[in-house]
Structure 1
Amino acid sequence: MVEVSVIGCGHLGSAVIRGLAKSDNHTITACDLDEDALDAVEPHVDRTTKEVREAASAPVVILAVRPQTVSPVLNQLQMSPEQTLLSFAAAVPTDFIEERTGGTVVRGMPNLAVETGSTAAAVTAEGDEDVRNILDDLGKYVVVDESLMDIATALNGSGPAFVFYLIKIMAAAGVESGLAEDDAARLAAQTFKGAAEIVLQSEESLDHLIDAVTSEGGTTIEGMEVLRESEVDDVMERTIRAAEERSIEITNDFERD
């Protein structure tokens, strides 16, 4: 069992807690100032506390707070080099955190799918065995250079919202043509899930996979022609860039501090 503390029990922190609890491989302490947030995660943890100093004793401490909350938390977070601080605070540079805590810092950017053990995460280092086990239990991860964390934040961190939006659009088209709302949503969501699994398991390129579904004279090719003639490529590019640029702005604010 890996002892881990999660500081911050908002949307991301609570999702991390539920994901770790499902793996049954961890002893979990939840830390937050909000009593309601602690009550919500209490069934999934071994201990709750409002004191950062109490949470700081675990071998691995996960920081899952908003960027504006990082400094006040770090001011109370005393750790040793033998401990790891796994920071999931969006756009907060490793250097900023390292200067304010004695722990070994691993910066990461997961997404809300940590709750189901299917997150896509980017991290700046694999860390020790305990950290790797935690990351494995939460989903899939890649190790990237710190300079690429802003685009990772936009792509996989913000990405679920963009995918939810696309699922909503596809489901709405189904409803417009007569499908029940729940049925359309289920079909659209499962289609995304299935397509994603094919991408992850296949060694073929995305273009090849598209061609495999797009047979001459069939239905898919008609839809693909609409997509290819539209501005969807440009829209998605601008969507990702807007999120990346905001991440860069937040990062720059911390680097000036």
Structure 2
Amino acid sequence: MSKTVLTNKLGMIGGGRMAEALISGVLSAKLYRPDQIWVADPDAGRLDHLNTRYGVQVGGTNHEVVGLSDVVVLAVKPQVMADAVRGVSDMVTKQLVISVAAGVKICRIMEACGADTRLIRAMPNMPAMVGEGITALAVGPKIEEDAIQCARQIFESVGRVVLIDERLMDAVTGLSGSGPAYVFLMIEAMTDGGVKMGLPRETASLLAAQTVVGAARMVLETGQHPAGLKDQVASPGGTTIAGLHRLEQGGVRAVVIDAIEAATKRSQELGG
């Protein structure tokens, strides 16, 4: 899809790290100009940072930003979502509203904003901050194809996008939402293993992190099953199969599956 300026104004309710990632992404992709982006946040320091670094428009209230915008991104914490939505619901008319608040269901936001709200729920993850995120989009009942493509372009500016049914959003949270932490833990453990075997920590950390990056790219770019790629590394009687044997003895496969299940169930509990 060609990259074009999507609408006249993009409004951000909340100016935290995910909002900043999206601002950086859409500006780099030339989807918007700085003068087309408005941000509201109670933290004056954050607003000053966003204005200084990106040149976006700041200083308006939530109410004013929604009124100025064609697309509104609700980038606030789940616990303040209800108050944020109630404060702007009278200004939500034809805007496309995108929520990135984890665990807040489409029906809850539409109850506050109105049954005719054009709403998309998004679940990006932390690597969006470096342009390598994965975002799951679930669409509300009033969404047309143009709105989906608009949301897709915004989130493709910080990584990849998949469309899912909202009922699967908790599983997405357990896998890709929480997943970066699992990978960070793995990188840390690999680094410690290298240090134990005599490598300098800085070197071990680089070796571990780049190995994860490279392995992930091979899965994505070759389209091969991870098991097939694993078998290509594990030669008969070699070092890799010895290491894999120890991982299997430790139950690493089952532990990872259990972790995703536990995180999914916790997401379900938090979302009511």
- Normalised to the residue count of structure 1, the TM-score between the two structures is 0.91
Residue of structure 2 in register with 1:230 after alignment: 250
| Aligned pairs for 1:1-257 within 5 A | 1-2=5-6, 3-26=9-32, 27-42=36-51, 43-56=53-66, 57-78=68-89, 79-102=91-114, 103-125=117-139, 127-252=147-272
TM-superposed deviation, 1:45: 4.2
Contact 1:86 1:107 (C-alpha < 8 Å) held by counterparts: yes
User: Tell me, which stretches of 5 or more residues in structure 1 are unaligned?
Assistant: 253-257
Contact 1:49 1:55 (C-alpha < 8 Å) held by counterparts: no
The change in CA–CA distance for 1:11 and 1:246 in structure 2 (over 3 A counts) is farther
**Local SS of the residue matching 2:202:** helix
Contact 1:21 1:45 (C-alpha < 8 Å) held by counterparts: no
How many angstroms apart in 2 are the aligned matches of 1:54 and 1:216?
66
TM-superposed deviation, 1:67: 0.8
Identity of matched residues, %: 35
**Which stretch of the first structure deviates more once superposed, 172-181 or 137-146?**
172-181
TM-superposed deviation, 1:216: 0.9
Contact 1:15 1:112 (C-alpha < 8 Å) held by counterparts: no
How many angstroms apart in 1 are the aligned matches of 2:15 and 2:202?
30
TM-superposed deviation, 1:245: 1.7
How many angstroms apart in 1 are the aligned matches of 2:54 and 2:37?
8
Residue of structure 2 in register with 1:255 after alignment: none
Contact 2:76 2:101 (C-alpha < 8 Å) held by counterparts: yes
Contact 1:17 1:115 (C-alpha < 8 Å) held by counterparts: no
TM-superposed deviation, 1:28: 2.2
Contact 2:22 2:155 (C-alpha < 8 Å) held by counterparts: no
Aligned length: 252
- The two structures, once aligned, show a CA RMSD in angstroms of 1.8
**Local SS of the residue matching 1:123:** strand
How many angstroms apart in 2 are the aligned matches of 1:122 and 1:73?
23
- Normalised to the residue count of structure 2, the TM-score between the two structures is 0.86
What residue identity is the alignment partner of 2:21?
Answer: A
1:37-95 residue CA offsets vs partner (Å, 9 max, x unmatched): 22232212421135101221311111111110100100122344531111110010001
List structure 1 segments (4+ residues) > 4 angstroms apart after TM superposition.
Answer: none
